[in-house]
Amino acid sequence: MEDQNHKTDSALSVKSGIDQPPSVDPKAAQHFIRKRKSILPASEYINGILNGNRTLLSRAITLIESQRPDHANIAQEIITGCLPHSGDAIRIGITGVPGVGKSSFIEVLGGYLTRQGKKIAVLAIDPSSERSKGSILGDKTRMEQLSNDPNAFIRPSPAAGTLGGVARKTRETMILCEAAGFNVIFIETVGVGQSETAVHSMVDFFLLLMLAGAGDELQGIKRGIMEMADTIAITKADGNNVRASDLACMDYKNALHLFPPPESGWLPRVIPVSARENRGMDTLLDIFAEYFDHVNSNGFLKKRRMEQSRHWMFTTIQEQLLDGFYHDPIISKRIKEIEKRVMDGRMTSFQGAVRLIAEYRKGDQDQHGS
Ligand code: GDP
């Protein structure tokens, strides 16, 4: 983060004794300055969001996603202003391996909801962009009908950062969307690793999409993820696939019986769905209604959200501490050297870590004069 700022600053400033590099185009610099100025006061974003202004909502989300510290400050102000107006939506997490049919499914289910007068937001957490620099969720044209639906708002995954950072930004985006009046939030992720846990920690209902007939059905997804599911939907239950889907439903129902009963007291359902033939959508909407009745009346929803807030506080502490550490100028200079010593066996891993942390703390103390 810091590094980026340094780069930006140095391109625009004149260092004493060094001529301004000719590559700095004054028009570009002017544009940059104008762009900086175009950030509005937080209250304008907040009012805009509360009035359902999608342009200001999008711009505020861009501030949340930005890596710049000044943007982070204003983003936090906006989130704080929106927080009292959030929380009324139902939050649905959707996961499944690439190709299981997530976007087709959300497109159809989303259409059902907007026709009922609901306003839906579709957000995503795509952990693949961090590792492969390419995204699994975002590369194709997705949800074309829903993108043109005035009652739907689709926002792809924040591209940069660690999974924890990306997930936090999605959670904060969700708060803004709720304040803007969206009453059903879908948070989508690919079933390829840790991101399901991140999604689970910010939604009320976790929907796992699975394919039938892909070899041994129970091999596809880790047990821990199945245990999180409030409902499993077997996708593409149409045409020649109907029988296999019904069999898969039976298998998963049996498998779920083996898990200990969830704390919510809700028994997870297993249903066949087809985005192509609109199958299972009404059933799923009934399941949502039944689930929310259940968790509202037994107090579980309130408890789950409270625990999620706590979880995010601690996750954010970790994320911020790590971020501060790795972007610290002293650490950036020293880390390679210590790393090399550890690899050469001149220091143990523990010693290396302790040394760096001590240098970081010392730098911090020097800076704050204590
Ligand atoms: P995602 O990667 O999980 O988002 O999956 P997509 O929604 O992009 O779907 C992957 C493929 O499955 C596409 O070729 C779809 O046309 C196909 N597909 C999606 N839903 C259905 C369905 O309900 N029935 C059938 N037969 N194919 C489907």
DSSP for 36-91 reads HHTPPPHHHHHHHHHTT-HHHHHHHHHHHH---HHHHHHHHHHHHHHGGG-S-SEE
Structure tokens at 231: 């409902």
- What is the 104 CA–ligand 1 centroid distance (Å)? 6
> Do 251 and 212 meet the contact criterion of CB atoms below 8 Å apart?
no
Residue nearest to atom 10 of ligand 1 (CA): 99
102 lines ligand 1 (CB under 6 A): yes
pLDDT in tens, 307-319: 999 998 998 888 8
Q: Which residues contact 22 (CB under 8 A, 6 or more apart)?
A: none
Does residue 349 have a pLDDT over 60? yes
Distance CA 78, CA 38 (A): 16
Report pLDDT for 104.
93
Four-residue CA torsion sign, 349, 352, 356, 361: positive
**Dist. CA 102 → ligand 1 center (Å):** 7
CA 343 to chain centre: 35
Judge if the beta carbon of residue 275 lies within 6 A of ligand 1: yes
What torsion, rounded to 10 degrees, do the Cα atoms 203, 209, 215, 217 define? 60
pLDDT at 340: 95
Binding site membership of 213 for ligand 1 (Cβ less than 6 Å):
no
Q: What distance in angstroms lies between residue 168's CA and the mean position of ligand 1's atoms?
A: 28
Which pLDDT score is estimated for 255? 85
Q: What is the DSSP letter of 279?
A: B
- The better pLDDT of the pair 368, 189 is held by 189
Mean pLDDT of the chain: 84
Helix (H, G, I), strand (E, B) or coil at 190: strand
List, in order, residues 6 or more apart from 206 with CB less than 8 Å away: 92, 93, 95, 196, 199, 200, 228, 229, 230
pLDDT at residue 319, as a whole number: 82
Looking at residue 240, what DSSP letter applies?
A: G
Nearest atom in ligand 1 to 136's CA: 2
Mutation to probe ligand 1, out of 94, 95, 103, 104 (largest number of atoms < 8 A from CB): 104
Our answer on whether the CB atom of 280 is closer than 6 Å to any ligand 1 atom is: no
pTM of the model: 0.81
| 12-26, 152-166, 195-209, 262-276: which is most confident | 262-276
pLDDT digit string, tens, across residues 117-176: 999 999 988 766 554 555 555 544 578 888 889 999 999 887 767 777 788 899 999 999
Compute, in angstroms, the gap from residue 105 CA to the centroid of ligand 1. Answer: 8
Is 243:279 a contact under the CB 8 Å cutoff?
no
Q: How many A from CA of 220 to the centre of ligand 1?
A: 17
Portion of the chain with pLDDT greater than 90, in percent: 55
Lookup result for tokens 């209604």: 289
